[in-house]
């Protein structure tokens, strides 16, 4: 993620020693917007990821450990955190922190058709594996949450963007009332290509579960389908990849008829949520004076343009 908490090599070494690790190098990681991450390199050339949780307390950060253990046991390629003294989350610079294995591979940029199928199957397996999982999170970024965010941001929007947002929310209200059978469960919520690792066509890692939420499974599908099936900088959907994604997903969990009826809307809504998120992050970074080469700030306009493109296909 972006680097908000700066570490020295000595601080990383002191933190890693109780894990039985002898750190010889520390490499900051860019590529996200919420937590601080470093690669730590050990004397035997093993590499791990040290994460400092910027907005979670120890309890919140620790909630994810049993989830990752459960998914690992289900055969999914996820980074299960290391533990010592009976727990995985410890304190570094007065913030919760953990160490997890570094998973090898490359982000699929651009995605290949077989990679699209692989991530769709893995996502469906996650949805099935986490059904009924006994976890209560301190926050749920469901529709009510994002409706609140949109209300907070609306005064800063220009007239055209206000109309765009109102149109999206109005369509959501109408169509979700018409098609209510949309299953919920725990979803990754941020399964973009840069949170996956592949070696060739083989999925080697699913990363960054910090946005894990109880929400509609269709939102997770829409988020991932949007990203894996879009050929940036164009925001148009690649139809061949989208069909392949959905067919592969349904080999594990068939969609309900109502989910299928709402899919186009949810592709638009997923783009709208990330438009709002990026605007929110930009405002927070500005308010807190977060600047510099290690702070990644993704472009809200990319998701706004995707929203406009996706709305072309939504009908009531």
Q: What percent of the chain has pLDDT over 90?
A: 78
Which of the 8 DSSP states describes residue 112?
P
- Would you say residue 149 has pLDDT above 50? yes
Name the pLDDT band for 162 (thresholds 50, 70, 90): very high
**Segment 116-141, tens digit of pLDDT:** 999 999 999 999 999 999 988 777 78
Q: Check residue 59 and give its pLDDT.
A: 87
The residue behind tokens 């990681």 is: 29
Domain ranges in the chain are: 9-101, 113-311
- Would you say residue 170 has pLDDT above 70? yes
By CB atoms closer than 10 A (0-12, 13-18, 19+), residue 33 is buried
Pick from 194, 19, 221: nearest CA to 120: 221
Q: Check residue 67 and give its pLDDT.
A: 95
Name the pLDDT band for 14 (thresholds 50, 70, 90): very high
Domain 9-101 has CATH 3.40.1210.10: no
CA distances from 261 to 36, 180, 218, 265, 313 (A): 39, 10, 11, 8, 12
Pick from 22, 37, 32, 21: nearest CA to 82: 21
Name the pLDDT band for 252 (thresholds 50, 70, 90): very high
Q: Check residue 56 and give its pLDDT.
A: 85
Q: Check residue 289 and give its pLDDT.
A: 66
Q: Report the predicted TM-score, pTM, of the whole model to 2 decimal places.
A: 0.87
Asked if residue 266 lies in contact with residue 313, where contact means CB atoms within 8 angstroms, the answer is no
Q: Tokens representing 266?
A: 């949810």
Q: What percent of the chain has pLDDT over 70?
A: 93
- Would you say residue 287 has pLDDT above 70? no
Q: Check residue 284 and give its pLDDT.
A: 76
- Would you say residue 107 has pLDDT above 90? yes
Mean pLDDT of 311-315: 92
> In this structure, which CATH number among 3.40.50.10800, 3.90.1200.10, 3.30.750.24, 3.30.565.10 belongs to the domain 113-311?
3.90.1200.10
**Segment 23-44, tens digit of pLDDT:** 999 999 875 567 899 999 998 8
- Would you say residue 292 has pLDDT above 60? no
- Would you say residue 1 has pLDDT above 50? no
Of 172-181, 251-260, 297-306, minimum mean pLDDT range: 297-306
Instruction: Report how far residue 226's alpha carbon sits from residue 268's, in angstroms, rounded to the nearest whole number.
Output: 9
């Amino acid at each position: 993620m972006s680097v908000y908490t700066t570490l020295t090599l000595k601080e990383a070494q002191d933190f890693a020693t109780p894990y039985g690790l002898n750190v010889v190098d520390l490499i900051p990681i860019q590529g996200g917007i919420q937590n601080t991450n470093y690669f730590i390199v050990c004397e035997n050339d093993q590499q791990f990821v040290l994460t400092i949780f910027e907005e979670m307390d120890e309890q919140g950060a620790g909630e994810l450990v049993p989830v990752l253990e459960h998914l690992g046991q289900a055969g999914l390629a996820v980074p299960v955190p290391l533990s010592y003294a009976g727990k995985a989350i410890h304190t570094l610079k007065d913030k919760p922190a953990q160490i997890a294995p570094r998973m090898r591979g490359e982000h699929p940029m651009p995605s290949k058709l077989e990679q699209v199928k692989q991530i769709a199957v893995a996502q469906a397996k996650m949805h099935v594996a986490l059904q009924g999982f006994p976890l209560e999170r301190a926050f749920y970024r469901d529709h009510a949450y994002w409706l609140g965010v949109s209300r907070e941001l609306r005064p800063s929007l220009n007239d055209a963007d206000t109309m765009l947002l109102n149109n999206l929310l109005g369509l959501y209200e109408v169509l979700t009332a018409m098609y209510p059978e949309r299953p919920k469960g725990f979803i990754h919520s941020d399964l973009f290509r840069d949170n996956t690792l592949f070696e060739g066509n083989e999925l080697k890692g699913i990363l960054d579960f910090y946005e894990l939420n109880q929400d509609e499974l269709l939102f997770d599908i829409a988020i991932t389908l949007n990203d894996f099936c879009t050929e940036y900088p164009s925001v148009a959907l690649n139809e061949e990849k989208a069909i392949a994604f959905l067919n592969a997903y349904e080999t594990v969990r068939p969609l309900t008829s109502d989910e299928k009826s709402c899919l186009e809307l949810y592709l638009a809504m997923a783009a709208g949520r990330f438009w709002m998120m990026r605007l929110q992050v930009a405002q927070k970074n500005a308010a807190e004076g977060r600047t510099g080469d290690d702070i990644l700030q993704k472009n809200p306009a990319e998701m706004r343009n995707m929203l406009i493109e996706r709305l072309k296909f939504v009908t009531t």
